[in-house]
Amino acid sequence: MTDKDNALFTTIRQPNLRSGLADTLMAQIESGDLKPGQRLPTEQAIMAATGVSRTIVREALATLRAKGLITTHQGLGAFVSNDPNPRSFSIIPNDLQSIDEVLRVLELRMGVEYEAAGLAALRRTPEDVERMQDRLDALDKALEKGGYGAQEDYAFHRSILVATQNSYYSRLFDTFGDIMVPRQWARLDKMTAFERKRHAARMRREHHAIFAAIRDGNEAAARRAIRSHLSKSAARFEELRDATNLS
């Protein structure tokens, strides 16, 4: 049992130990701290860390298994499901075959993320800030290499939703997946080297502004930064649509 494993259980509270244990593990899965395919600590290790009975541990794991968040393998233990996020509703690539559809998704994102950014600024923990910084660093590296950074972009925005301490925000995002950042419309292949460099600098500037506001606990600035970022994205897509219609 490592220090990191022990840290998984620090938020368990009385009186409902089973619910507290299940909620703690669920939060770790939803935040990405427990990754798809990762093995959970053994029952014995969880018992030692929490002081709860084996029955309580097994009931908590059964709750997670019923939700599709974990799978168990005889003799091997419990593992985070490869796709632990239920998707009763989703946006798939075929939904985004036109720029108008992309703009509709951006409208949805603005409504969700505007509120989420404000809540994240008020509620973020040091762990949330560290997670956002890691995701932002990964996005910076992807952009520096001249890539789209779609997955890294998605991961950064999702880390903001996690920082709201309201798991429904991240669950909503998980129904969409990284299609929320539609790389097929980025058109980097049609940009000059200078244009790609300018695009990367703009993306980094906007994302760093969002992160700084949330890190500093500035609710109003966080809302302004996320609205500005998504509004500018929408404006770029509108310009692309108009240019496409004229050609």
- Within 8 A by CB and 6+ apart from 199, the residues are 188, 191
- The alpha-carbon radius of gyration of the chain (Å, integer) is 20
- Token digits of residue 221: 């600035």
CA pair distance 62, 185, nearest whole angstrom? 42
Q: pLDDT exceeding 90 applies to what percent of the chain?
A: 31
The DSSP line for 202-229 is HHHHHHHHHHHHHHTT-HHHHHHHHHHH
**Fold agreement (3-80, 93-246):** no
Q: Which residues of 183-197 are buried (b: 16+ CB within 10 A; e: fewer)?
A: bebbeeeeeeeeebe
- What distance separates the 2 farthest-apart alpha carbons in the chain? 69
Residue 76 main-chain phi, psi, to 5 deg: -110, -30
Task: Kindly state the average pLDDT of the residues 20-44.
Answer: 85
**pLDDT value at residue 131:** 96
- The answer to whether residue 12 scores a pLDDT higher than 50 is no
CA pair distance 211, 215, nearest whole angstrom? 6
pTM of the predicted model as reported, rounded to 2 decimal places:
0.63
CA pair distance 103, 69, nearest whole angstrom? 32
CA pair distance 175, 95, nearest whole angstrom? 14
Q: Strand pairing of 77-80 and 70-73?
A: antiparallel
* Residue that wins the pLDDT comparison between 22 and 141: 141
For domain 93-246, which architecture applies?
A: Up-down Bundle (1.20)
Residue 75 main-chain phi, psi, to 5 deg: 85, -10
Residue 217 Rama label (left phi>0; alpha psi -120 to 50; beta): left
**pLDDT value at residue 224:** 97
Going by pLDDT thresholds of 50, 70 and 90, the confidence category of residue 1 is: very low
**pLDDT value at residue 11:** 46
CATH number given to 3-80: 1.10.10.10
Alpha helices for the chain (secondary structure H): 3-7, 17-31, 43-50, 54-66, 99-123, 126-144, 150-162, 167-174, 193-215, 219-246
How crowded is the C-beta side of 174, counted as CA atoms within 13 Å?
19
CA pair distance 146, 68, nearest whole angstrom? 37
- The answer to whether residue 130 scores a pLDDT higher than 50 is yes
The structural domains of the chain, with segments of one domain joined by +, span 3-80, 93-246
Going by pLDDT thresholds of 50, 70 and 90, the confidence category of residue 172 is: confident
Task: Kindly state the average pLDDT of the residues 93-115.
Answer: 77
